[in-house]
């Protein structure tokens, strides 16, 4: 996302009500361009640090609790181990709550420092994918026009592909018809050669006479059928 887009989002959202901490974080707080540059938000970074701190704390406190119970139970009366464990568990829970609250306060300050001093991209730094935006300035209308032109070209290309497929199918049909015509011509040539070989004269003239005879024969058959009693 280019810086112009980030500024437009921030301007659009500044007129509304600022969300609470429990709601979605304000875009200006997220610092969208910095998020794209580093690949994470300051909030995500601190959340991971806080989770790591909690994991370490939960691993260390039981060990400390066991060591304290072991040291304090030496030389003590029988049955005191259970009381020491209960007391140590209460103390470890209070220590855990105290450290959690302190680290929450510290993480808030660390997040502000990270946001303002560490995770801030200078104004003269652009993401690699935004370099073209700096070189080729285009208004939103021009972008929309190019997208519309691209959609038209895509539609025209798809129509050309469909037309080409239809032409190829028709060409295949023509090849099949041509094959049948070639077979008929071959048969006619063989018939003509056989006719001449038998000494029947010109094939064209004989074929014309045969067709006339067939036509007269068909007329005679029709006349006989017409005169025959029903």
pLDDT in tens, 1-18: 455 544 444 444 344 333
Long-range CB contacts (within 8 A, 24+) of 101-108: 103/50, 103/53, 104/50, 107/46, 107/49, 107/50
Q: What is the DSSP string of 45-114?
A: HHHHHHHHHHHHHHHHHHHHHHHHHHHHTTTPPTTHHHHHHHHHHHHHHHHHHHHHHHHHHHHHHHHHHI
pLDDT in tens, 26-47: 555 567 778 888 888 878 888 8
Q: What is the pTM of this model?
A: 0.41
Residue 204's pLDDT is: 67
pLDDT in tens, 156-201: 999 999 999 999 999 999 999 999 999 888 887 887 777 677 666 6
Domain boundaries, the chain: 3-137, 174-230
């Amino acid at each position: 996302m280019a810086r112009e887009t980030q500024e437009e989002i921030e301007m659009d959202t500044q007129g509304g009500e600022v969300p609470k901490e429990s709601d979605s974080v304000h875009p200006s707080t997220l610092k969208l361009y910095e998020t794209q540059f580093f690949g994470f938000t300051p909030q995500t970074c601190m959340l991971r640090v806080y989770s790591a701190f909690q994991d370490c704390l939960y691993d260390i406190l039981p060990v400390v609790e066991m060591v304290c119970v072991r040291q304090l139970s030496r030389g003590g009366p029988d049955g005191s181990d259970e009381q020491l464990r209960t007391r140590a568990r209460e103390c470890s829970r209070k220590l855990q709550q105290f450290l959690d609250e302190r680290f929450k306060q510290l993480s808030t300050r660390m997040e502000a420092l990270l946001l303002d001093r560490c995770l801030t991209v200078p104004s003269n730094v652009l993401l690699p994918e935004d370099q073209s935006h700096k070189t080729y300035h285009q208004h939103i209308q021009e972008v929309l026009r190019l997208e519309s032109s691209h959609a038209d070209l895509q539609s025209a290309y798809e129509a050309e592909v469909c037309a080409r497929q239809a032409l190829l199918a028709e060409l295949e049909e023509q090849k099949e018809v041509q094959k049948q015509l070639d077979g008929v011509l071959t048969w006619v040539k063989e018939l003509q050669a056989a006719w001449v070989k038998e000494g029947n004269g010109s094939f064209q003239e004989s074929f014309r006479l045969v067709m006339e005879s067939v036509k007269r024969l068909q007329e005679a058959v029709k006349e006989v059928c017409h005169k025959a009693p029903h």
